[in-house]
Amino acid sequence: MIKKRFKKFLYHYVFPHAGLLMVRLLSVTYRVKLLDAENEASILRAGGRLVYASWHQRFFPGITFFSTRKPIAIIISKSRDGEMAARAVNILGWHPVRGSSSHGGKQALEEIKALGRSNHKVGHIVDGPQGPFGVVKPGLIRIAQFAELPIVPTITSGERRWVFNSWDRFMVPKPFSRVIIRFGKAIHVPKEMDRDEFEAVRQQVETRMKALYEDTDHIWNTPVRKKTIFR
């Protein structure tokens, strides 16, 4: 019983607070530039309802940045790791919605739809939590379709970074690195789609996100573009 309570204390309090402290200390050193910000701004001016779509590999630089975009909601699984993530999200001031495709997915979609109607933005990791890397899972399209929210591909890239030996080669920009946060053009998802149309939209989002990531990463090897952005 004592061991169980100690584990609960670690996962509910120690790990979320300690982890976020590390994230904040590191993030404050970054030199962040927004790229193609008008793609986000135009949606925000029209009402602010959207889904930020990001790869799992790259979400680290956005943790503190998107605290400036509240109110914002994110779907998190009902696993033990999900519980720790939900605690961290609460500390950030985000709204965690618990559920996944295998457990509580329908209820999570209903909650996301209600939150969207109350002007919450939605953050979504398109290939998480276990991959495969770079593959847009159907959950993103279902959220956009069900809640009637446009998808805004959200790209992050650090000039100098650590790469971890995980399924997605998770990346964390090093201290004092230059970081780009880039917004792709909004993708509007039809409310009614058959199976083929659904898959076509999924592939469209995946193709566009891959192209944006490749182009954004290429900036670090292009002195003229890099100088223009960080002048």
Task: Please say whether the beta carbons of 146 and 124 come within 8 A.
Answer: no
- Tell me the average pLDDT across 64-93: 85
Q: What is the pLDDT of residues 112-122, one digit of tens each?
A: 999 988 889 99
State pTM to two decimals.
0.90
Would you state the pLDDT for residue 89?
Answer: 86
- Tell me the average pLDDT across 54-75: 91
- Calculate what percentage of the chain has a pLDDT beyond 70: 93
Distance between CA atoms of residues 179 and 177, nearest Å: 6
Q: Total domain count for the chain?
A: 1
Would you state the pLDDT for residue 14?
Answer: 73
Return the exposure string of 95-108: e unless at least 16 CB atoms fall within 10 Å of the residue's CB, then b: bbbbbbeeebeeeb
129 upstream amide cis, omega within 30 of 0 = yes
Distance between CA atoms of residues 118 and 96, nearest Å: 15
Nearest to 160 by CA among 140, 181, 176, 147: 176
Pairing of strands 72-76, 161-163: unpaired
Would you state the pLDDT for residue 1?
Answer: 63
Task: Please say whether the beta carbons of 36 and 109 come within 8 A.
Answer: no
CATH of the domain at 136: 3.40.1130
Q: Which amino acid is at 60?
A: F
- Mean pLDDT of the residues in the chain: 90
Nearest to 124 by CA among 42, 164, 66, 78: 66
Task: Please say whether the beta carbons of 89 and 83 come within 8 A.
Answer: no
Residues 6+ apart with CB under 8 A from 182: 34, 35, 36, 154, 155, 156, 157, 212, 216
- Tell me the average pLDDT across 12-24: 82
Range of the domain at 37: 2-229
* 169 CB-side CA count, 13 A: 4
- pLDDT greater than 90 at residue 149: yes
User: In terms of residues, how long is the chain?
Assistant: 231
